[in-house]
Amino acid sequence: MASREYNIVVLGAGGVGKSAVTVQFVQGIFLNSYDPTIEDSYRRQMDVDGRSCTLEILDTAGVEQFTAMRELYIKNGQGFLLVYSVTDRSSLQELIKLREQVCRIKDNQHVPIVLVGNKADLGHARTVSFQEAKNLAHNWGTSSFYETSARTAAHIDDVFADIVRQIQKRESAAAATTEATAPEPMTPSSSSSGSSTSHGRNLSASEKQAHGRNFSIGALSTSDRRSTKRSSDRHSELPVSKGGFEKKKKKKSAGLCVIL
């Protein structure tokens, strides 16, 4: 069976280890230093509960200012890793604002989110307790919280598997709702308006969101992209180019027969 794609965005304050976590997951190595201004996409295939999944991960930089680009990638992301460092209390506080932003932009309080406390190997320098962060996750209505170490790779795979499961769960719930409220089979004339699948049923708003997204920051104008440096492909496994996205988009629409 073809591998499903999941668009994941890694958010958090500078220096918490977003790039180190991403690169540890994708390439299995620990980065001692990485340009903090680099924002890049990575891909990795992983099996989650026996299903092959392709994770497309956007490692962000520069959350300090709100940019049009940030709004766009939040809109296009399906799941979000909110990363803080267990050695930096303010980085956890920063996530409270970030989560609010994500929920506002997605117009949904139940966006798939995993809270990630990184640098757990630095026990001696810890300033945020496990329980405290767990309580915050609980307030957000989720138990998806892990303490990770990009250095030792502890719980790194668990974080990504968790976010995939959350996205899958949301999509099955959306599909079930659509099935329950599906109208009678449509006549050819009625199926010509709106988005529909090959079997003639209207896509729900969430399905449209799930299938019709384009995760490409390549879709941005050059001026939008100015603020963030893009890395060379040195660290990216299968770096995502604009051309690559266009190819993927074509493949998706062929399979889904989406009529816009």
Site residues (CB under 5 A) for Mg ion? 18-19
Nearest residue (CB) to ligand GDP, 41 versus 202: 41
Per CB under 6 A, 81 contacts ligand GDP: no
Per CB under 6 A, 65 contacts ligand GDP: no
Strand order across the 79-85 sheet:
40-48, 51-59, 4-12, 79-85, 113-118, 145-147
Residues 31, 175, 220, 238: which binds ligand GDP (CB under 6 A)?
Answer: 31
Per CB under 6 A, 121 contacts ligand GDP: yes
Nearest residue (CB) to ligand GDP, 32 versus 187: 32
122 binds, among ligand GDP, Mg ion, none (CB under 5 to 8 A by kind): ligand GDP
Residues 86-105 that bind ligand GDP (CB under 6 A): none
Burial of 229 (0-12, 13-18, 19+ CB in 10 A): middle
> Using CB under 6 A, which of the segments 18-26, 43-51, 131-139, 247-255 binds ligand GDP?
18-26
The maximal CA–CA distance of the chain, rounded, in angstroms, is 68
Which residues are paired to 202 by β-bridges?
A: 196
Question: Using the 8-state DSSP alphabet, how is residue 229 labeled?
Answer: B
119 binds, among ligand GDP, Mg ion, none (CB under 5 to 8 A by kind): ligand GDP
Question: How far is it, in rounded angstroms, from Cα 114 to Cα 6?
Answer: 14
Question: How far is it, in rounded angstroms, from Cα 55 to Cα 178?
Answer: 26
Residues 7, 41, 78, 118: which binds ligand GDP (CB under 6 A)?
Answer: 118
Nearest residue (CB) to ligand GDP, 155 versus 170: 155
The answer to whether 165 touches 4, Cβ cutoff 8 Å, is: no
Which residues are paired to 80 by β-bridges?
A: 9, 113
Q: How far is the CB of 135 from ligand GDP (least distance, A)?
A: 22
The answer to whether 67 touches 99, Cβ cutoff 8 Å, is: no
Q: How many CB atoms lie within 10 A of CB 184?
A: 5
Residue 237: phi and psi, rounded to 5, are -85, 130
Nearest residue (CB) to Mg ion, 19 versus 216: 19
Per the listing, tokens 């340009």 go with 35
Residues 44, 119, 155, 235: which binds ligand GDP (CB under 6 A)?
Answer: 119
Residues 34, 46, 158, 244: which binds ligand GDP (CB under 6 A)?
Answer: 34
**Which residues lie near ligand GDP (CB under 6 A)?**
12, 14-20, 31-34, 36, 118-119, 121-122, 149-151
